[in-house]
Amino acid sequence: MAEDNKARKLVANNKKAYHDYFIEEKYEAGIELFGTEVKSIRQGKCSIKEAWISIDKGEAFIMGMNVSPYEKGNIFNKDPLRVKRLLLHKAEIRKLEQQKQVQGYTLVPLEVYFKNGKVKVEVGLAKGKKLYDKRADMAKKDQQREALRDYKVSLR
C-alpha cells in the first residue's frame, strides 16, 4: 500500500464534490489524452471543479474538465474543454450506468493524479446532499475544529 502512495502524484482534486454529494463508491479510470494535454497536466494545469461524467452508447466521457493548453505547444494543442473519453471496463460502465438510472445519483470526478506515469481519474458515484445535510456537515466540522483547538490550548 505504501508503494501505491509513492507512485501516485495528485494533480487536481474536487473538494466541492465532497461538500455537495455523498460519495457512495469510487472507481479509478484512465483518460484518453493527447501528448500536449499530458504535458500540461504534468505541470498541474488541470481543473475538475466544474466537471461531470456522462455515459453515452456504452462509453464514459468526462465533460467540463479544463486542461490548459501547453505553453510550449503549437498546432497540436487541443481545446481546453474538449470532451475526453474515460477508459473503464465495459462491465464497470454498465454497472455505473445502471446505478446512475436510480433517482438522485450522478457521477463526479473526485481527483486527477498520475499513477505509474499514467493519468488517472477517481470517479465517484454520488448522491446529492440537501441544504440541511450541508449545514449539518459544516456544524460537525466546526465542532471538531473547536474541540481540537481546546485540546491544543489545554496541552500548553
Neighbours of 100 (CB within 10 A): 14
CATH 2.60.40.10 fits 8-128, yes or no: no
Q: How far is the C-alpha of 89 from the C-alpha of 19, rounded, in Å?
A: 29
pLDDT at 5: 56
Q: How far is the C-alpha of 133 from the C-alpha of 119, rounded, in Å?
A: 33
The pTM for the full model equals: 0.74
In the chain, where are the structural domains located? 8-128
- Give the residues of the chain that fall short of pLDDT 50: 1
pLDDT at 3: 54
pLDDT at 110: 92
pLDDT at 34: 82
pLDDT at 6: 61
pLDDT at 1: 46
